[in-house]
């Protein structure tokens, strides 16, 4: 059993979040980050194969972001993005079309850029403690860009540190 409530890793060997200061705690209080105590927050990863309507799903999610949040669902990518491609880029270290679009010259550029997007997600989780029941991620690139066991293991570990469970959805 974990010492952290809500920490039920979906990947063996995943480590729970470390105790951190939290913005909703009394000043100087030490406690758990949102990732360890926000409770039954699950995530849904929509693995959208190309040409299966993924963009339409992403557009509906993005267009209804505020109403979904009121209902307990967080759209898991920043409003200025069309989908959760940043998560794929964060875990895939091989150059692809995102490198050209984002003008990354090296792994450091990519890491710095995608780390800002991951920080956005973490901020959203912290700011909405208790209000979120599920986070939804959707990207065609989960299907077409993530290819190695290492990439999937890092992604699974990332999810396990933040969510109580992971559901996968894929249209073929």
Where residue 103 falls (left for φ over 0; alpha for ψ -120 to 50; beta otherwise) is: left
DSSP letters spanning 70-111: HTTEEESS-TTSSSSHHHHHHH--S--HHHHHHT--SHHHHH
Residue that the structure tokens 């995530």 belong to: 43
Please give the pLDDT value at position 39. 59
Please give the pLDDT value at position 30. 39
Element (H, E) at 88: helix 85-91
pLDDT by residue, tens only, the chain of 172 residues: 333 333 333 333 333 333 333 333 334 433 334 444 445 799 999 998 888 899 999 999 999 999 999 999 999 999 999 999 999 999 998 998 889 999 999 999 999 999 999 999 999 999 999 999 999 999 999 989 999 999 999 999 999 999 999 999 998 7
pTM to 2 decimal places: 0.76
Please give the pLDDT value at position 44. 97
Give the chain's end-to-end CA distance (angstroms, integer): 37
């Amino acid at each position: 059993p974990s010492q952290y409530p809500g920490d039920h890793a979906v990947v063996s060997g995943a480590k729970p979040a470390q105790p951190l200061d939290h913005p909703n705690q009394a000043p100087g209080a030490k406690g758990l980050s949102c990732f360890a105590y926000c409770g039954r927050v699950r995530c849904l990863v929509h693995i959208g194969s190309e040409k299966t309507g993924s963009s339409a799903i992403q557009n509906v999610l993005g267009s209804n972001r505020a109403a979904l949040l009121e209902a307990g669902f967080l759209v898991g990518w920043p409003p200025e993005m069309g989908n959760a491609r940043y998560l794929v880029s964060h875990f895939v270290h091989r150059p692809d079309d995102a490198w050209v679009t984002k003008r990354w010259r090296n792994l450091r550029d990519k890491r710095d850029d995608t780390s800002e997007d991951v920080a956005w997600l973490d901020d959203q989780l912290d700011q909405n403690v208790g209000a979120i029941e599920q986070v939804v991620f959707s990207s065609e690139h989960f299907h077409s860009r993530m290819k190695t066991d290492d990439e999937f293991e890092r992604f699974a570990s990332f999810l396990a540190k933040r969510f109580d469970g992971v559901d996968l959805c894929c249209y073929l």
